[in-house]
Amino acid sequence: MTGKVVLGIESSCDETGVGLVRVDNSGAVELLADEVASSVELHARYGGVVPEVASRAHLEAMVPTMHRALRTADLRLADVDAIAVTCGPGLAGALLVGVSAAKAYAAALDVPLYGVNHLAGHVAADTLEHGPLPKPCLALLVSGGHSQLLRVDELASKITEIGSTIDDAAGEAYDKVARLLDLPYPGGPPIDKAAREGDPRAIAFPRGMTGPRDAKFDFSFSGLKTAVARWVEARERSGEAVPVADVAASFQEAVADVLTAKAVRAAEELGIGTLVISGGVAANSRLSALAAERCAAAGIQLRVPRPRLCTDNGAMIAAVGAHLLLAGSAPSSLELSANPALPVHTISV
């Protein structure tokens, strides 16, 4: 057996993730295990993630998820050479559980600890599926918690934010629109499903932040959400049935249109040939179809990890750790603490 085994721990929101990867000197990062315990069902009745509920679930799930990951990889804790953990951004109480666990494991096993950035994890997820990233590349991260456009020069050391949402994350808008349409939480999958039966051109919903004076690469989904609400309420007032499929399709089209248009424009203006789309919303069928179409037209290579790697997981955090090891980065101190507002350019702490 060659190479080093890196354990990754993720607890920034409602998924407790433990992943294991093996990295060899050539830079190849192999996925060994990726186990996730989700508390999403506990949050469904509240229509959004409840931090205290998520934190309690992380505490319960941490050690069992660790054991599942080790069993999947057929490894023992003694085989682990380094530990990486999400130390931000995310929910403070949730991050605290993962960071505390990682520190205890690192101290007990006497292995180096790397506190890493969750957003770098989403980018690194793609290396587990498609191999090393070209330098530079552009990453579009879309989920319930983030909507960001990043320039990635070096996964272990240089990531720059090109644009981000000025209000809601794309996934949040999905959750709110799902609620308007009496669809379940989380809103992404049911809206995607309903949209397949609808006409994306039925209703012309606004494209936020696309005016000539708006920041070119920033997003806004709050206005879109309000526009959908107004439209649905007007329908209800007039006593007509709400055409759920058409509203879902038209809303989804507006989201996918803005995200892909801005990402492709950024790639073109920055002269970057590869776009990675990751995060929970990356699994959205219209977003990936439109991105594929527009990237092909612009001659941009599109990389989207499989849905399982797009959502929050520990393997992506282990992958960041593997890149830090390869780059010879200094490990974190055992005084490491969670930073809910960790900026994206801080890849490791």
Partner 1 sequence: MLVLALDTATPAVTAGVVTLDDEGPRLLAERVTVDAKAHGELLTPHLRDALAEAGAGMGDVDAIVCGVGPGPFTGLRAGMVTAAALADALEVPAYPVCSLDAIAADVPGEAPLLVVTDARRREVYWASYLAGNRVEGPRVQRPAELLAELGSVTRVAGGGVSLCEFPAAVEVVGTAQPSPVGLVRAAGSPVLEGAAPAPLTPLYLRRPDAVEPGARKRVSQA
Q: Summarize the annotated binding site as residue ranges.
A: 118, 122, 141-145, 175, 188, 192, 284, 312
Residue type, 160: T
* Secondary structure of residue 52 in the 3-state scheme: helix
Q: How far apart are CA 305 and CA 318, in angstroms?
A: 16
Residue 312 binding partner per list partner 1, Zn ion, none, with a CB distance cut-off of 5 to 8 Å that depends on partner kind = Zn ion
Give which of partner 1, Zn ion, none residue 40 binds (C-beta under 5 to 8 Å, depending on kind).
Answer: none
What DSSP designation does 132 have?
A: S
Task: Please report how many Cα atoms fall inside a 13 Å half-sphere around the Cα of residue 170, on the Cβ side.
Answer: 33
Residue whose entry in the numeric block shows the structure tokens 């929910």: 91
Q: Which is nearer to partner 1, 9 or 31 (CB)?
A: 9
Region from 138-146, 194-202, 283-291, 297-305 binding Zn ion, contact rule CB under 5 A = 138-146
Question: Which spans in the chain are helix H?
Answer: 40-44, 51-73, 92-109, 118-130, 170-180, 188-195, 222-237, 244-270, 285-298, 307-310, 314-326
What is the SS3 assignment for 161? strand
Q: Which residues contact 27 (CB under 8 A, 6 or more apart)?
A: 132, 326
Binding to partner 1 by CB under 8 A, coded x per residue (else -) over 281-320, reads: ----------------------------------------
Residue with smaller CB distance to Zn ion, 55 or 143: 143
The reply to whether 82 sits near partner 1 by the rule CB under 8 A is no
Site track for partner 1 across 150-189, x = CB under 8 A: -----------------------------xx---------
Print the binding letters for residues 47-66 with partner 1: x by CB under 8 A, - otherwise. x--x-xx-xx-xx--xx--x
Site map for partner 1, 210-239, x if CB under 8 A?
----------------x--xx--xx-----
User: What are the structure tokens assigned to 279, written together?
Assistant: 């995060």
Residue 207's Cβ-count burial label (10 Å; 0-12, 13-18, 19+) is middle
Residue 236, classified by CB atoms within 10 Å of its CB into exposed (0-12), middle (13-18) or buried (19+), is exposed
Q: Binders of partner 1 among 102-131, rule CB under 8 A?
A: 102-105, 107-110
Nearer to Zn ion, 96 or 232 (CB): 96
What residues from 142 to 201 belong to the interface with Zn ion (CB under 5 A)? 143
Whether the link from the prior residue into 186 is cis, omega within 30° of 0, is: yes
Residue type, 46: Y
Which residues fall in the annotated binding site for substrate? Answer: 141-145, 175, 188, 192, 284
Decide which of partner 1, Zn ion, none touches 46; Cβ closer than 5 to 8 Å per partner kind.
Answer: partner 1
Question: Is residue 327 part of the contact set for partner 1 (CB under 8 A)?
Answer: no
144 neighbors 175 (Cβ within 8 angstroms): yes
Cα separation, 176 vs 164, whole angstroms = 19
Q: Which is nearer to partner 1, 101 or 169 (CB)?
A: 101
SS3 119: helix
Q: List interacting residues with Zn ion (CB under 5 A).
A: 143, 312
Q: List interacting residues with partner 1 (CB under 8 A).
A: 45-47, 50, 52-53, 55-56, 58-59, 62-63, 66-67, 77, 92-93, 96-97, 99-105, 107-110, 179-180, 226, 229-230, 233-234, 334-338
